[in-house]
Amino acid sequence: MVKSSQLQIRVSHAQKEKMRNLAEQAGQDVSQWVLQRLLPPCVAQLQALIDNLKHRPGQRSLILAELHDFLVDQDSKQLTQALQEIDVGGLAPFEANYVAAMIETACTNRNIVPPPWVARVKPCTEPWFASNLTSLRMYLLTASPPPFRKRNLFVDSTLGARV
């Protein structure tokens, strides 16, 4: 990324020394150290996945699989930070619900409070089943995890498992 702008902040001498020492311990210069804390890579990675869902609908299943892997791989601190920062505006209702259900499940699995925007995603108006087989519908209705069921999405597996 090309850096073409400068940000200047006022800090005390003690604060500047503390930042310099912490950056040095991390093997970074002060700018890198501050940027990594304010804009961690996990935030950009998650936002890129969300943006891909908006702009590449033909690759939805692949992108949702990548999102699954991202949510499973993050530690609680990274996940909490990434989820607070993302913008899901512009997602189609299905994608918004699927993402919200995945995130809610990831948060539940780690005892993290889901970000407030998850509750604001309105459930799908029509039920969606992960299989077109009518004989599987009753199973999917009962086996789907609660965050998916309440959004009218009926799946067989969720975070941590793939079918």
Tokens matching residue 71: 């949510």
- Per-residue pLDDT, averaged over 93-108, amounts to 94
Half-sphere exposure of 98 (CA within 13 A, CB side): 22
Q: pLDDT per residue over 120-133, tens digit each?
A: 999 999 999 998 99
Averaged pLDDT of the chain: 88
- State residue 14's pLDDT score: 93
Q: Decide if pLDDT at 160 tops 60.
A: no
- Per-residue pLDDT, averaged over 157-162, amounts to 59
pTM equals 0.76
| Distance (Å, whole) CA 38 – CA 27 | 17
Which residue reads 């009218």 in tokens?
A: 152
- State residue 43's pLDDT score: 82
- Full DSSP string of 47-106: HHHHHHHHH-GGGHHHHHHHHHHHHHHS-HHHHHHHHHH---TT--HHHHHHHHHHHHHH
| Distance (Å, whole) CA 2 – CA 86 | 22
